[in-house]
Each structure stands twice: as C-alpha cells, then as structure tokens.
Structure 1
Amino acid sequence: MWLKLLIALVFIGIVVSLAAGAGFLLHDESTSRRLLTSLKWRIALACVLMALLLFGFLSGELG
C-alpha cells in the first residue's frame, strides 16, 4: 500500500515539475536558470519513479 502511494506522489511531483517548467519557459527571461532546475528535478523524479516501479515488480508488490 505504501509503495503505491509513494509512486503516486512521485508521479504528481513529475507533473508539477512539468507544469512549473512550462510556466518558466513562457514567462522567465532568457538568462533564468529555473527552467534547467525544473528539468533536473523532473529527471531525478523520473529515475526515482523507475526505481520504485522496478522494486515493486521484482518484490511482487505490484502485479
């Protein structure tokens, strides 16, 4: 149960980071680094999500 909740929270974090990145792309100056930071967070969260899914399938908690 806790694994599914954690996966959902990480996925929501990815979506929030994607929305924030779109906002930064549209409204920030060209010298702003917030878009790059948002991309770094999104990549890190995607790696965590993949690791959680792999763990879930290998442990048998996710069918």
Structure 2
Amino acid sequence: MLKLLIAVIFFAILLSLAAGAGFLIRDQSPSTRLLTSLKTRILLTALLMVLLVYGFSQGALGT
C-alpha cells in the first residue's frame, strides 16, 4: 500500500511539472497558474520525502 501511494505521488509530481512547463510556455498574461503549480509540486515533494523516511524507518521499504 505504501509503495502504491509513493508511486501515485511521484506521478502527480510529474504531472505538476508538465503542467508548469505548459503554463510557462503558453501563458502570456500575468497569471498565477505557474506559481500554483510550483507550490503544488513542492508540497507533493515534501509529502513524498516524508513517506520515504517513514517507509525506510518502519522497514516497509529497502532491503
């Protein structure tokens, strides 16, 4: 279950990265969508790091 959650969050980070790149290329107006995408990516990355630390400390991940 933990590995699946980690994979889903990683995929969400990649989607946020792609969305941010699209906003950077397409948006000509002073929109905040790029900033929102960056905030989302930072939040997801922090959550991923917490899950990885938890998984390794509990022995659910690793050798």
Task: State TM-score, norm by structure 2.
Answer: 0.96
> Which segments of structure 1 move beyond 4 Å, counting only runs of 4 or more?
none
Shift of 1:29: 2.1
Match of 2:40 in 1: 41
The Cα offsets for residues 25-49 of structure 1, whole Å up to 9 and x where unpaired, read as 0001240100000000000000000
Alignment of 1:1-63 (within 5 A): 2-63=1-62
* TM-score (normalizing by structure 1): 0.96
Q: Counterpart of 2:41 in structure 1: which amino acid?
A: R
Give the counterpart letter for 2:49 in structure 1.
M
Percent identical pairs in the alignment equals 63
Gaps of 5+ in 1: none
CA RMSD of aligned residues (A): 0.6
Gaps of 5+ in 2: none
Aligned residue identity for 2:5: L
> What's the offset of the Cα at 1:21?
0.1
